[in-house]
Amino acid sequence: MSVQPGPAQSPEYELLWRLNQRCNYRCEYCFRDGVDDYRSAEHPDCGKYPPEHIAGAFDSTGKRWRIHMTGGEPFLYPGFVELAAALTQNHRISVNTNLSTSNVYTFGEVVPPGRVHSINATVHLEELTRRESGVDGYVDRFLFLQNRGFNIRLMYLTHPSLPDRLVRDVETFRSRGIRNVYLKTFHGRYGDREYPMAFTRNERRLFKEQGAPRRELDIFDMETCFLGRRCDAGHIALDMDLAGNLTRCSSVREDHGNLLEGRYHFDPAPARCPARICRCTYQGMKFAHRSVVLEAAWRLYAWKRRAEEGVRRLPQRGSRSDHPPGI
């Protein structure tokens, strides 16, 4: 079934697809560290279906899709360029990538830029310094896609070890012709502190001055709980693993079938979020409906928690005295 976009059609449905697990980077801050066994050799379910079958599975729903492709490293998926070309015939895609592989150039030549919503190219500086092409290779691949008309963003991870060099790095990338630099919030533990809660007031101010978007600032401020709010996840948005299994979202693992086997269902209407912890803040911020009362209650809780952490936490060695603890 061919799905032709048009003004009279229903809205785009969205799918977050973790299409593979293999990654060629070994970032010390990766949330996958110690979680999965497929960092070097790909998961056996990856690439089980040919691109034509996968594209046909989306087409058979009769819906227009925006397919967010993440991993692992998506460009290491077997036949990734062919898959992207097949999907973009009738749907749109976006890709989260470290932009490290040579097939980036083939992708840029084969896939129409207008069918790619966005490419989020995270820069991992420590990994880049270990590689022969290094930062120059990353910039070359980035500019190749940018010059071909793709909506590509450099994702600069606000790791706690980097604030002292952040301004210099951002200026360097912009001076080399990269137009869209996006600050992305670090989540996780560094030293004896839990982030993003542990970012200081000065660091938050720096991120804002360097153009961190509103939603990232909300994450810094922990204003990201969606418990009790009506959410479109499960209704017009789903999660899919590399085998095709569908769930409501990254946090709520309600079964919604298997798209690649032709079994799927959608909730008839938005349902309230039951998750006390959101495992994908970006999904929650996109799909959860606004609630003034619930948002105000969460902001109060977050403020109290930061204050309590500030009392309990001891300053790290080398920390600056003008950084209020926990703020």
Per-residue pLDDT of the chain (327 residues; tens, 9 = 90+): 445 544 445 689 999 999 998 888 877 777 654 445 555 678 888 999 999 999 999 999 999 999 999 999 999 999 999 999 999 999 999 999 999 999 999 999 999 999 999 999 999 888 888 877 889 999 999 999 999 999 999 999 888 888 889 999 999 999 999 999 999 888 888 888 888 888 888 998 899 898 888 888 877 665 567 888 899 999 999 999 999 999 999 999 999 999 999 999 999 999 999 988 787 888 888 898 876 555 556 566 555 655 565 544 433 322 222 222 221
Q: What is the DSSP string of 17-28?
A: EE-----S---T
- Burial class for 4, CB neighbours closer than 10 Å (0-12, 13-18, 19+): exposed
286 and 94 in contact (C-beta within 8 Å)?
no
- d(Cα 26, Cα 104) in Å, to the nearest integer? 20
Token pair of 40, please? 């070097």
DSSP 37: S
pTM for the predicted model, two decimal places: 0.83
Q: What is the pLDDT of residues 197-229, one digit of tens each?
A: 888 889 988 998 988 888 888 776 655 678 888
Mind listing the domains of the chain with CATH numbers?
Answer: 13-312 (3.20.20)
Helices (H) and strands (E) in the chain, counts: 10, 14
Residue holding tokens 């912009």?
A: 174
CA 301 to chain centroid, in Å, comes to: 26
- d(Cα 234, Cα 15) in Å, to the nearest integer? 10
Q: What is the pLDDT of residues 98-138, one digit of tens each?
A: 999 999 999 999 999 999 999 999 998 888 888 778 899 99
DSSP 323: S
Work out the angle at residue 183's Cα, subtended by the Cα atoms of residues 180 and 185, and round it to the nearest 5 degrees. Answer: 150
